[in-house]
Amino acid sequence: MTAPAAETVAAPAHFAGARTSPHLLMPMTLLFVLLVIAVLRSPVLVTNSGLGSAVIVAAPLILATYALMATVVAGRGTVDLAIGPLISFINVTLIQLVAADVIGSPFVVFLYAVAVGMAYQLVMALIVIFVRVQPIIVSLSGFLALSGINLVILPRPGGVAPDWMASWGAGTSVFSPVMAILVLASLAWLLMTRTAFFTHLRLMGSDERAAYTSGIPITIVRIGAHLISGAFAGLSAICFTALIGSGDPGQGTTYTLLAVTALVLGGASLGGGRASLAGSLIGAVDLYLITYVLSTFSFGGIQSFVTDLCYGAILVASLLLTLTLPVIQRTIGNFSALLYFVVLAIVALGVILFSTYTGDVPSAAATGTAAGFLEIQALRGAAAESGRDSRLWAFVGVLLLTVPLIARTLIVGARRRGLGPIVYIVVTGLALLAVYLATHGYAGGVGHGSARP
């Protein structure tokens, strides 16, 4: 009985060695396709303020997905449908307590949000473990109960967030407190995956009977998973409060469907035992980009219905893809998802740079006389920037020439663990370059009045 357990426990070590991760193929591909479309439709996304707005809007969803991921990995089909109303509950109670001058300092606010989230999840865990009610029934009951309680506490949107939180939701810079919360939360999850607790959690989610016979304290592990979920739910509620700057008893409930969709899109198994930080993060960002791309089109009064339709279609496609994972894994046995990510990142960065530097100038007929004057100035600046554009093309060419080399490494050397640090360095370099270009502006780019010296 212990041999299968040992084999299952050893699986995460191979996963860390950049082995095959076919469940990440669809979210990675969708991420860069949507990113390219979003930049082509609205280049302002890759500016400092554009990235800052993206962070503040996407952060509550990302953290809600992390919260949901902790319980899903534990198995038993523990999909916490109450994650959205729980976020709203923390939000509305926080706003009411701030209005009554009960709490106000950042430390107390963070402590309150995390404590409430953990307390709710502890109650849910105790009911599931000792009362032996199915988790889906407990979570559905929590969804209905919290939705009603939220309306009793705050019948309609209102109130004001703490004064020190007022500037958090501005989204004027990518370097913000919300970004710091998101980074620290992601690092905390990564550190947790290096512990024996996470190994026990994955084994319990994959086969609870085998975990029990192996001597794993499944009761403690399950309670720990719920407490972690509650902590991330509290952080999500804080970012949600910073985003809207007030209390809203109903808006947070939408995060339930979005978090479940992001989790499935990221390759997590709702049956338990499989979920990753990278997949959940990419899935949540994909949903944000879907909303962003659709907002650049005009669907009139059916805008929200089109968005929901896209969410549902992508969720169904992701579920269908999971049925083909064994075939994909046999076909691309030596495929490295991490290196595939690098290839897509290089191609997407080249397209983004090309779009930003050579974007079309709006016509005077479409934008009026003032825009016509700006058009003349932009055309004059374009002539002065011809040399800079040539260097840009050379830079993009060098980036694209590296694709065949990395693609060869993608197939031949995917099993070599020594490639991991190299890939992380490349990804970090691309991220730093993107942040630098966003924070320092683009010469001749769309949305900038003049070229940088």
CATH code of residue 138: 1.10.3470
Residue 14 lies in a domain: no
Question: Which residue range is the domain that position 353 belongs to?
Answer: 334-453
Residue 329 lies in a domain: no
Residue 377 lies in a domain: yes
For residues 285 and 388, state if they share a domain: no
Q: What is the tally of structural domains in the chain? A: 2
For residues 70 and 199, state if they share a domain: yes
Neighbouring C-beta atoms of residue 447, cutoff 10 Å: 15
Q: Kindly write down the DSSP assignment for every residue of 359-401, as one continuous string.
A: PPPPPHHHH-HHHHHHHHHHHHHHHHTHHHHHHHHHHHHHHHH
- C-alpha 226/C-alpha 218 separation (Å) is 12
- The first and second tokens of residue 42, run together, are 């609205």
- C-alpha 134/C-alpha 335 separation (Å) is 38
Q: Kindly write down the DSSP assignment for every residue of 69-114, as one continuous string.
A: HHHHHT-TT---TTHHHHHHHHHHHHHHHHHTTS--SHHHHHHHHH
| Contacts made by residues 125-134, CB under 8 angstroms, sequence distance 24+ | 125/222, 125/223, 125/225, 125/226, 125/227, 126/223, 128/76, 128/78, 128/222, 129/219, 129/222, 129/223, 134/76, 134/77
For residues 118 and 267, state if they share a domain: yes
pLDDT at 426: 56
Point out the domain boundary residue: 315, 342, 363.
315
β-bridge partners, 247: 158
- C-alpha 126/C-alpha 149 separation (Å) is 21
Burial 330-350 (b: 16+ CB within 10 A, else e): eebeebbbbbbbbbbbbebbb
- C-alpha 381/C-alpha 377 separation (Å) is 6
List the Cα angle 345/348/352 in 5-degree steps. 130
Q: Which residues contact 271 (CB under 8 A, 6 or more apart)?
A: 75, 77, 205
For residues 252 and 338, state if they share a domain: no
Of 232, 211, 207, whose CA–CA distance to 220 is shortest? 211
Residue 15 lies in a domain: no
For residues 298 and 349, state if they share a domain: no
Q: Which residues contact 402 (CB under 8 A, 6 or more apart)?
A: 346
Point out the domain boundary residue: 315, 350, 368.
315
For residues 447 and 410, state if they share a domain: yes
For residues 238 and 143, state if they share a domain: yes
For residues 340 and 288, state if they share a domain: no
- The first and second tokens of residue 378, run together, are 């932009």
β-bridge partners, 98: none
Residue 301 lies in a domain: yes
For residues 280 and 402, state if they share a domain: no
pLDDT at 401: 52
Residue 161 lies in a domain: yes
β-bridge partners, 158: 247
Residue 24 lies in a domain: no
Sequential pLDDT tens for the chain (453 residues): 444 444 333 344 333 334 456 677 778 888 888 888 888 888 788 777 888 888 899 999 999 999 998 888 887 767 888 898 999 999 999 999 988 888 888 899 999 999 999 999 999 999 988 888 888 888 889 899 999 999 999 888 888 888 888 888 777 777 888 989 999 999 999 898 888 888 888 888 887 788 888 888 888 988 999 999 999 999 999 999 999 888 888 887 888 888 888 888 887 777 777 778 888 888 899 889 888 888 888 777 777 787 778 777 877 777 777 677 666 666 655 556 667 777 777 777 777 776 665 554 343 334 444 444 344 344 344 444 444 444 455 555 555 555 555 555 554 554 444 445 555 555 555 555 655 555 554 444 444 433 333
For residues 213 and 354, state if they share a domain: no
Please, what sign has the CA dihedral across residues 436, 442, 446, 450? positive
Q: Is 161 helix (H, G, I), strand (E, B) or coil?
A: coil
pLDDT at 267: 78
- C-alpha 355/C-alpha 212 separation (Å) is 55
CB of 263 closer than 8 Å to CB of 9: no
**Has this prediction a pTM greater than 0.85?**
no
pLDDT at 277: 85
- C-alpha 121/C-alpha 114 separation (Å) is 11
For residues 143 and 284, state if they share a domain: yes
CB of 212 closer than 8 Å to CB of 280: no
Point out the domain boundary residue: 286, 315, 344.
315
For residues 183 and 248, state if they share a domain: yes
Residue 239 lies in a domain: yes
β-bridge partners, 437: none
